[in-house]
Amino acid sequence: MHYDHDPRFPEGFFWGASSAAWQVEGGVNEGGRGVSIIDINSKTKKPFADNFIAADHYHHFKEDVAFMAECGFTSYRFSLAWPRIIPASDGKVSAEGLAFYNALIDELVAHGIEPIVTLYHYDMPLWVEEELGGWKSRETIKAFERYVRVCFETFGDRVKYWLSINEQNMQIAYGDWLGVSKGCTDWFRDQWRINHIINLCHATAVNLCHELVPGGKIGPVPGMVPIYPYSCEPMDQIAAMNAEEFTEKIWNDTYAHGEYSEFVRAYWENNDIDPGIEPGDEELMKSAKIDFFAINCYRSNTAKWAPADAKPHSYDLNKTGEKGNLVFPVVPGAYQLVYNPHVEYTDWDWEIDPVSLRYLMRYMWDHYHLPMMITENGFGAHEHKDANGEIHDQYRIDFLRENIYQLGLAVEDGCEVIGYNPWSFTDLLSTGNGIEKRYGLVYVDVTDDELNEAEAAGTLPPCKRIKKDSFAWYSKLIKSNGQDWGGEITHGC
Ligand code: BG6
């Protein structure tokens, strides 16, 4: 569809940015916070910094919210750290943990910023893993239920938009990256039992939100990578569908329909997989009606058929930030991912493909007909201050402008999109490359080496905040409700 006007965004559209507790807060030994599995996982990414200090949002949150207000934010998506709220296996709720989040939420509300809160973003308390068995155990469902009940009861008077679990699909599809597969002896089968337990946690949270939060709305947060067939060769289309099923569609179908699809059931049967469904589980899943999809999307992928006798290979992510260091997966008899000759790539070999965001919105709307908000989208880069201490991130401006324009075209196409919260507001810790891989509109003036040294010395670096060029650009765009594009659109339509 071609439009003779720039896209228009609805009144009341949520403009903001996004973060996650373990990636932004730091303060891991403060406020009575317990140890989390991600504290341990992040130490495996050395020489990059772990999450001990991160962006030190724990001490800078008021300053950060003031910057958000200056930028013109109407929303901010962040996560609560379960180990800050229920730090130990005695199950006691930490008053200090609640006080921290109460103060953050109050600060946001006082500045007219809608809090959009993720309940779980990879930071399970260590006691849940060690004493209950983590995602491998059904005991964890009860612990999660208790935790989310505390969250809804404490914050539900001010927080109306809730997100259940961040990127469940990515946690399962790439189990080793975030440590979910740790301790599993047969990941091929174990992943489906773990996935089922997470689904029950999600469903529990959805129902409790509706029961406890007046006017509360809740949705899942799939990590979405739109997948194109490499060519019009028919088997490439089947390959793209297979890749889509095994990395995202299986999860989205379950969230939206409250039951497992025929596709995944057939796969389990053909592969002798028992996902551990017990009496009452399917009723619980069916009863959990989500209100919207929160969607994380940074890139697209391209799939090609992989014959049954192809040599299998797992996904080796680019862990260096130097182009060309990524190895795509090969799944014999299903698909292989390949480079797309039509798009550019970031230094981490992520496709730069704004049009895929419009495609994704159309795809999700057609399949599920539920409102959508973007909860992550953004450009990770190596960044340094120039001689004047400024950060000129024109590449990020270009990326965001093109992506938001495509999102607007999806709105024009008839999709119901309620907000855009890119990753991230300040620089924060990436999942694998510390603070070296920066996403923020606001620079945090600290390096991985400085974070490592400060942690070893027991000191706290200043972590000064410096607005990047993208801050001013984004501010103009959102204050005009998506009309002041501040530059040429190259993927227009
Ligand atoms: C998303 C995650 O998948 O991608 C975030 O929800 C993550 O936690 C973001 O930080 C970007 O990925 P990375 O690896 O560049 O940090």
Active-site positions read 167, 376
pLDDT at position 1 is 79
What is the pLDDT, as a whole number, of residue 248? 96
Ligand 1 centroid distance, CA of 288 (Å): 27
> Which one of 3.20.20.140, 3.60.70.12, 3.90.550.10, 3.20.20.80 gives the CATH number of domain 14-223+353-479?
3.20.20.80
Is the per-residue pLDDT at 175 higher than 90?
Answer: no
Q: Find the mean pLDDT for residues 38-43.
A: 94
Regarding the beta carbon of 20 and ligand 1, being less than 6 Å apart is answered yes
Q: Tokens for 210? A: 């509706």
Amino acid (one-letter) located at 354: P
Atom of ligand 1 nearest to the CA of 170: 3
Three-state secondary structure call for residue 457: helix
Res 176: pLDDT: 81
**What separation in Å is there between the alpha carbon of 75 and the centre of ligand 1?**
19
d(CA 250, CA 259): 10
- Over the stretch 188-202, which tens digit does the pLDDT of each residue have? 999 999 999 999 999
Ligand 1 pocket test: pick from 376, 379, 396 the residue with the most ligand atoms within 8 Å of its Cβ: 376
Q: Per-residue confidence at 280, pLDDT binned at 50, 70, 90?
A: very high
437 pocket-lining for ligand 1 (C-beta < 6 Å): yes
CB-ligand 1 contact for 296 (6 Å cutoff): yes
Q: How many CB atoms sit inside 10 A of residue 265's CB?
A: 13
Distance 421 CA to ligand 1 centre (A): 13
Percent of the chain having pLDDT more than 70?
100
The mean pLDDT value of the chain amounts to 96
**What is the domain partition of the chain in residue ranges?**
14-223+353-479
Distance, CA 424 to ligand 1 centroid (Å)? 10
Which ligand 1 atom sits closest to the C-alpha of 20? 8
Q: What is the pLDDT of residues 236-251, one digit of tens each?
A: 999 999 999 999 999 9
Task: Confirm or reject: Cβ of 174 under 6 Å from ligand 1.
Answer: no
Residue 493 has pLDDT above 80, yes or no: no
Residue 200 is predicted with a pLDDT of 98
- pLDDT per residue over 71-117, tens digit each? 999 999 999 999 999 999 999 999 999 999 999 999 999 999 999 99
**Residue 223, ligand 1, Cβ within 6 A:** yes
**Which atom of ligand 1 is closest in space to residue 378's alpha carbon?**
11
State both tokens at 105. Answer: 């939420």
Contact of 460 with 56, CB cutoff 8 Å: yes
Ligand 1 nearest-atom number relative to CA 430 = 16
Cα separation, 392 vs 385, whole angstroms: 8
| C-alpha closest to that of 49 among 430, 393, 469, 470 | 430
Segments of 395-463 assigned E as strands: 417-420, 442-445
| Ligand 1 centroid distance, CA of 20 (Å) | 9
pLDDT for 492 beyond 70: no
d(CA 106, CA 102): 6
C-beta of 378 in contact with ligand 1 (< 6 A) = no
CA distance 401 to 76: 19
CA atoms within 13 A on the CB side of 408: 27
* Interval 50-64: pLDDT, tens: 999 999 999 999 999
pLDDT surpasses 90 at 364? yes
**What separation in Å is there between the alpha carbon of 269 and the centre of ligand 1?**
33
Q: What is the percentage of the chain residues whose pLDDT exceeds 90?
A: 95
Split at pLDDT 50, 70, 90, the class of 275 is: very high
- Would the pTM of this model clear 0.75, i.e. be above it? yes
Tell whether ligand 1 has an atom less than 6 A from the beta carbon of residue 376.
yes
Q: Is the CB of 434 under 6 A from ligand 1?
A: no
| Mean pLDDT score, 217-229 | 98
Atom of ligand 1 nearest to the CA of 317: 14
377 touches ligand 1 (CB under 6 Å):
no
Look at residue 480 and tell me whether its pLDDT is greater than 90: yes
Name the burial class of residue 5, with classes exposed (0-12), middle (13-18) and buried (19+) by CB atoms within 10 angstroms of its CB. Answer: exposed
Q: Cα dist. 168→6, 122, 187, 321 in Å?
A: 35, 9, 15, 25
Decide whether any atom of ligand 1 lies within 6 Å of the 423 Cβ. Answer: yes
Residue 211, token pair as written in the block: 């029961």
Indicate which residue's Cα is closest to atom 14 of ligand 1: 431
Does pLDDT of 174 surpass 90?
no
Report how far ligand 1's centroid is from the alpha carbon of 431 (Å). Answer: 6
Distance (Å) from CA 266 to ligand 1 centroid: 31
Residue 179 has pLDDT above 90, yes or no: no
Question: Which of 221, 345, 423 should be mutated for ligand 1, with most atoms under 8 A from CB?
Answer: 423
CA–CA dist 464, 456 (Å, integer) = 20
Alpha carbons within 13 A on the beta-carbon side of 362:
13
Cβ(169) to ligand 1 under 6 A? Answer: no
125 lines ligand 1 (CB under 6 A): no
